[in-house]
Amino acid sequence: MADSPADSTEAKADTLRLELHKVLTDVFHDGLGKNGGENEGSNRVLKAIDESVVRILDCLRKVESEKPPLKVPEEFICTLSKNIMIQPMIISSGQTYEHRYITEWLKHNRTCPKTKEVLSHMFLTPNHLMNELITQWCRVNKVDRPKRSSDELFMKLFSDDMESLLQRISSPSSVSNQLEAAKELSRQTKKYVTACIFFVAQLPNSITRLLTPLSVLGDDVDANPELQESIITSLLNISTAQPDTTVIAKNPHVMPLLAKSLQKGTVVTQEASAATLTLLSDIASNRIIIGNSEALKALIDLLERSSPDTTVEAAAHAVLDFCNGSESYEKAISAGLIPVVIKNIKAGRYVDEMLNILTSICTDSRAAKEMEDLGFFNDLLGMLRKPSSSMTCENAVEIIFNMFMKNKDGSRLEMLEEEEIKHGTFMELSHKGSHNAVGRAEWILRWIKRFADSKERATEGTEA
């Protein structure tokens, strides 16, 4: 039986390699090996080496170029990675895939990538036979078997998928197709952190394209509540994974859509919008953007609405994180934060959350005056007399301390003295409160004592 062209070419290559080895060995032993390269004979040896090596290498190159491309058996290629498998694993459908890729696939799907059948279980079994066959094939064919690499290989599986989802969301063929893609993107960005980073860093105009379907709706942003919910949830997931969220905050579509989603949206949409603003508020430059947008007023308005507890708590958390720095809380005060917060406290709604907000801004003179003008001082004293929790007590005394710290005029101090004479509020707190509460109570007691002493001296001076 005649040899195939591939076998014939390989045989020629082997013959040339053997000839090259023989030439080098002969000239070394006959020339350099004896003379050490120091006489005229060595020059002849070097010339002979040059001529022989050049001739044989030229022949080798010609022979190698005639070899047909090496075809890798289909069974050795993972249909997900499109590469020779490194760690072949069998799933319950009986199909074999690369370990790293099938692991990521199963985080998002319960089906076999090839057969599409629902898997009976999610366990992976090493395919030792396939692994050995690949090893032997690579050795025989002088192929370097691929080695595991970093996230570049890892991300390949989802990069095309995410681009496809984004295209379906921003340029849908139908509303149902758009919604299906938005839901899938929401699931993927929740489970796969690296995909979130890739989404922003690698996909062109990804944030704008994601939000376009909602932007074009204008005030009718909630026309498709499920679509709105999935897109805003995806934005939250993507923001959570970003090492730097400024690129999100600076996008001109983000703040208007978050504001509208706080005003018009399902409970999930409102909470996701508030949570996104909480994340963005970690960076000072983002807080400036939020403060200059409609999103801040929308957050404050949400605190006043009859919303589920979880929604109000999410909004309160976002406002609290925003009020980190004088420029930020001054914006919040101007947006009408204090009356809304105090209204909630007086109604007994979300007292601890509202007090946390006031505690964060009570060092501001304008905030202190506004609280006093709204008659909030008496409410704070009532909380100290009958505190519902140690946190309530600690926040209430902190606010009182800061309200009086910058302005201890006679009428204010007289209110403190009257409270202490009637109820002994601060003396009791100095014995039973938390460490911070005790410290503030002791300061207030010193103010009361100095005020009482000054009145006594004034009385003595008058009598004299």
Say whether both 79 and 62 belong to one domain: no
Say whether both 81 and 97 belong to one domain: yes
Count helices and strands in the chain by DSSP H and E runs: 25, 3
Which CATH number characterizes residue 112's domain? Answer: 3.30.40.10
Closest of 283, 279, 284, 232 to residue 257, by C-alpha = 232
Edge-first strand order for the sheet with 96-98 is: 96-98, 88-90, 125-126
3 state DSSP class of 87: coil
pLDDT for 312-340, tens place per residue? 999 999 999 999 888 898 999 999 999 99
Mean predicted confidence (pLDDT) in 181-207: 87
The band of 311, judged by pLDDT with boundaries at 50, 70 and 90, is very high
Say whether both 46 and 11 belong to one domain: yes
Residue 30 confidence (pLDDT): 54
Last residue in a domain, options 148, 183, 209 = 148
Say whether both 61 and 78 belong to one domain: no
Say whether both 53 and 87 belong to one domain: no
Q: Is the pLDDT of residue 151 over 60?
A: no
Q: Which amino acid is at 252?
A: P
Q: How many domains does the chain have?
A: 2
Say whether both 79 and 141 belong to one domain: yes
Answer yes or no: is 142 within a domain: yes
The band of 45, judged by pLDDT with boundaries at 50, 70 and 90, is low
Closest of 266, 108, 127 to residue 186, by C-alpha = 108
Q: Is 388 left (phi over 0), alpha (psi -120 to 50) or beta?
A: alpha
Answer yes or no: is 223 within a domain: no
Say whether both 56 and 79 belong to one domain: no
Answer yes or no: is 126 within a domain: yes
Answer yes or no: is 127 within a domain: yes
Last residue in a domain, options 66, 85, 113 = 66
Say whether both 61 and 85 belong to one domain: no
Answer yes or no: is 12 within a domain: yes
Residue 144 confidence (pLDDT): 84
Answer yes or no: is 82 within a domain: yes
Answer yes or no: is 40 within a domain: yes
Mean predicted confidence (pLDDT) in 124-152: 81
Residue 259 confidence (pLDDT): 96
Answer yes or no: is 283 within a domain: no
The range of the structural domain enclosing residue 87 comes to 74-148
CA distances from 278 to 92, 95, 245, 262, 265 (A): 43, 45, 11, 13, 18
Say whether both 85 and 139 belong to one domain: yes
Residue 79 CB contacts under 8 Å (≥ 6 apart), including other chains = 97, 113, 114
357 by Cβ neighbours in 10 Å (0-12 / 13-18 / 19+) ranks as buried
Q: How far apart are CA 377 and CA 350, in angstroms?
A: 18
Say whether both 78 and 61 belong to one domain: no
pLDDT for 202-242, tens place per residue? 888 999 999 999 998 888 888 899 999 999 999 999 998 88
pLDDT for 341-356, tens place per residue? 999 999 988 899 999 9
